[in-house]
Amino acid sequence: MRAQDFGDAFHWGVSSAAYQTEGAYNTDGKGPSIWDDFVRQKGKIYQNQHANVACDFYHRYPEDLQIINQLGIKNFRFSIAWSRILPQGSGQVNQKGIDFYKKLIEQCLEKSITPWVTLYHWDLPLALSHKGGWKNRDIIHWFSEYVELCAREFGDMVKYWMVLNEPLVFTGAGYFLGVHAPGEKGLIPFLSSVHHAALCQAEGGRILRSLCPQAEIGTTFSCSPVEPYRPTPKDINATHRTDALLNRLFIEPALGLGYPTDYFHALHRIERHMYPEDESALAFDFDFIGLQNYTREIIRHSLFTPYIHARHVEATKRNVPTTLMGWEVYPESIYQILKLFHERYDLKKIIITENGAAFKDSWHKGRIKDTPRRYYLQQYIRQCLRAKQEGVPLAGYFAWTLMDNFEWAEGYKPTFGLVHVDFSSQKRTIKESGYWYGKFVNDQKKVKISTNSLSKN
Ligand code: IFM
């Protein structure tokens, strides 16, 4: 397999997110976000860790861009922290925050690294959360103001935009399960947040298109192929319901298909939050769809799981190789999801905006040998090529993630980075996988794929 097999126009990159890397949580006028608040609540995050400093990317971004450059990676996906530029979420603009992102983007461009900007990667301004956050329909106005500001300030330098990162995760984990910020639980907070996020997704696209006509506009979805545990009608129906939730909930309204209520009837309750004009307001013609895939899910019927009556069978109980997240290593998942989205929706362009793995890294003579991560990337990329060769309009691949960072409720324990970060000294060390990825995306020569099976972690 060669990077060139994907074609010269293919976008190879690395992904990251503001809250997970920037630190500087209250520096230069930044306002607090829901995550700054959530991490302070005892017992929410592994070992009560936080991202007050994280990778200190706010101060060290020139060094990090240098690493991206050294590896010859040409595309860098990062997000803007809403409360760094609008500390209260709306109203007063923080010029120092604007200046930070301008410098970051300028330095990318100087180094011939193309910036790919995500507008919302989960760090809602706390002031807006106090007014109901994603549950409050006013978020459409707050979000529009934020998107307009970004478009006006950065639109002449940024071509590639993603409106939301994984809306199912921030609404599901944040407003239904309560395991992510802001820690709310229940169907009503979840469905109202879903509907407002879906409206913002489309409205954000419209604002970008009107203010930045040259822009390529996308949004990103977490997605996984789902399979029934047993071929029984109950498990098969549970799998359909899970598919509606995991893979269809946000893309179908964006495509003008409405919410996927066919299998998952509890979703009908979302209609209570809808105004007559919303059906058309949910749709937007995105230039690309970002898919983020890590694994597959095996689903069984479960009477005791409210609303969905389905649960996944944990990979750790299935005797399969797993990552530190407990996610199955299953390279074909990325092929299956690419085929599924292509065949179901006939999308114009798909970008894999995240894929990667958390493994324990080991030092060997001053270098980090993370062979399982290298194998993982090689095998998943191989499956992307397979999908592309079968006609999927795949135009890019971004590894998650540039460097080890704050993995939300799991803290710093699962390390996904191509670059190791020593959080006590902030020293960066490129891992074997990072060198491999840089070599692969540049060097057009054949890179041998190991046939060794992935070890169980
Ligand atoms: O770290 C996250 C990222 O913020 C969103 N997608 C999945 C990654 C790994 O869990």
Q: Which residue from 267, 340, 365, 279 is spatially nearest to 308, judged by alpha carbons?
A: 267
Q: Report which residue type is found at 402.
A: L
Ligand 1 in reach of 166 Cβ (< 6 A)? yes
Ligand 1 centre to CA of 121 (Å) is 9
Per the listing, tokens 């959080």 go with 423
Q: Which atom of ligand 1 is least distant from the CA of 121?
A: 4
Between CA 347 and CA 286 the distance in angstroms is 9
Whether omega for the bond prior to residue 182 falls within 30 degrees of 0, making it cis, is yes
Ligand 1 centre to CA of 417 (Å) is 11
Ligand 1 in reach of 203 Cβ (< 6 A)? no
Quick check: helix, strand or coil at residue 429? strand
Between CA 395 and CA 61 the distance in angstroms is 27
Ligand 1 centre to CA of 354 (Å) is 8
> Between the CA of residue 141 and those of 123, 203, 204, what are the distances in Å?
17, 10, 10
Between CA 439 and CA 431 the distance in angstroms is 12
Q: Where are the beta strands (DSSP E) in 309-373?
A: 310-312, 350-354, 362-364, 367-369
The residue contributing the CA closest to ligand 1 atom 1 is: 407
pLDDT for position 452: 40
pLDDT tens for the chain, residues 1 to 457: 999 999 999 999 999 999 999 999 999 999 999 999 999 999 999 999 999 999 999 999 999 999 999 999 999 999 999 999 999 999 999 999 999 999 999 999 999 999 999 999 999 999 999 999 999 999 999 999 999 999 999 999 999 999 999 999 999 999 999 999 999 999 999 999 999 999 999 999 999 999 999 999 999 999 999 999 999 999 999 999 999 999 999 999 999 999 999 998 899 999 999 999 999 999 999 999 999 999 999 999 999 999 999 999 999 999 999 999 999 999 999 999 999 999 999 999 999 999 999 999 999 999 999 999 999 999 999 999 999 999 999 999 999 999 999 999 999 999 999 999 999 999 999 999 999 999 999 985 555 544 343 333 3
Per the listing, tokens 């930045």 go with 212
What CATH code is assigned to 3-442?
A: 3.20.20.80
Report pTM. 0.96
Quick check: helix, strand or coil at residue 188? helix
Neighbours of 2 (CB within 10 A): 12
Q: Which atom of ligand 1 is least distant from the CA of 20?
A: 4
Ligand 1 in reach of 400 Cβ (< 6 A)? yes
pLDDT for position 446: 53
Q: Which atom of ligand 1 is least distant from the CA of 410?
A: 10
Retrieve residue 175's tokens: 């407003």
Alpha helices in 2-94 (DSSP H): 18-21, 34-38, 57-70, 82-85
